[in-house]
Amino acid sequence: MTPVSRRAQEIQPFLVMDVVARAKELEAQGHCIVRLEIGDPDFPTPDVITRAAETAMQDGSTHYTQSLGLPDLRDAIRDHYSAVYGVTIDPEDIVVTQGTSPAMLLLFGALLDPGDEVIMPDPCYPAYPNYVRFLGGVPKLVRTRAKDGFRYREDELRAAIGPRTKAIMVTSPSNPTGAVLSVEDLQMLADIAEETGVHIASDEIYHGLTFCGEEHSILQYTDRAFVLNGFSKAYAMTGWRLGYLIAPREFVRPAEKIQQNFFLAANAFVQQAGVVALTEAQPDVARMRALYDERRRYLVPALREIGLKIECEPCGAFYVFADASDWGRDSLALSRRLLEEAQVACAPGIDFGQGGEGFLRFSYATSLEQLHEGVARLARWARMNA
């Protein structure tokens, strides 16, 4: 029997997807589960976008495109970054992908040799270290803390940079914490990049979902940056699988070659819909953002009221990262108990790194009615287990 590859054996599971699978099993058995575990918007994709995809298909846009992506979409991305952030991007520095996950493969595949390091926060989105390890790189985790707003401490960040460091990973707004980096944070990162020669890899997929102040792209502060972004979150297009990578020019052709071999190109009609999303769907984005904010303003105090600690109030994305250590210090075991006993699905903090142990992540990408019901169930469970 041929053994499974070491690479496949060593990759860590995405625990929240195990929670999703068990929640679906329970639902199939007739249980009513309050689903707060996953960041999948409950809103339908705006009509203007779906109509654009239908029109594109009817018009024959069902064939391969160039691997970099449709010129019209790359132009629209350029115009969007210019209008929102005041930055100038050449469309030739943009690679359109089938979601931001393939964009991560292009980024780290073009940047890393075996043994090269990428600094990333702990806690962070679990795919980051898995992508780096899968490509032979080394994720170097730097602890971030709720009392600091889950921001890097400059002295610890500088101490982590070594001769093999190629990039510093940042996410703002953050999954899982909902934290948003300040102008000062981004400028500090840009200064470090310029001084040390490392790059900043900025995941901006939750842009459009910031509730406190203005959003800022890392490209406003340095050219030594890669940007990951896409349409899944702000445009409620998770199932469409459309994203993009903005890269320094010398990395674009290497990324394009990886795309050519592994993915060919994003779907043509989906790219056409992406153009319309950027140019015509901003009122829909604003409407959804306002509803997310309403949910956020309910959920944060409600979770505090039932005994969970939220030291860093989320200002973006659609997650609350709550310290549940008073309920149980093993976050995976606790999340399983809450699913089975309270019928509430949430993500265990350990999924996001050792820095997340003791925390639970709650998604408010669901209705206010479901949030009320979820909190009521959690409150009953907490009283019964006090």
Domain boundaries, the chain: 6-44+283-384, 47-281
Residues in the chain predicted with pLDDT less than 50, given as ranges, are: none
308 contacts: CB under 8 Å, gap ≥ 6: 322, 323, 324, 326, 327, 360
Residues in the chain: 386
CA torsion 76-79-84-87 (nearest 10°) is 130
CB burial readout 364-373, b (16+ within 10 A) else e: bbbeeebbeb
3-class SS of residue 245: strand
User: Please, are residues 316 and 209 in contact by the beta-carbon 8 Å criterion?
Assistant: yes
The CATH class of the 6-44+283-384 domain is alpha beta
Whether 105 and 258 have beta carbons less than 8 Å apart is answered as yes
Instruction: Give the per-residue pLDDT at 3.
Output: 87
Q: What is the pLDDT of residue 1?
A: 67
Q: So what's the pLDDT on residue 175?
A: 97
Which residues, listed in sequence order, are joined to residue 363 by a DSSP beta bridge? 319
Q: What confidence score (pLDDT) does residue 13 get?
A: 86
| Dist. CA 87–CA 112, nearest whole Å | 27
CATH, domain range 47-281 = 3.40.640.10
0.85 exceeded by pTM = yes
Angle CA 36–316–272, to nearest 5:
90
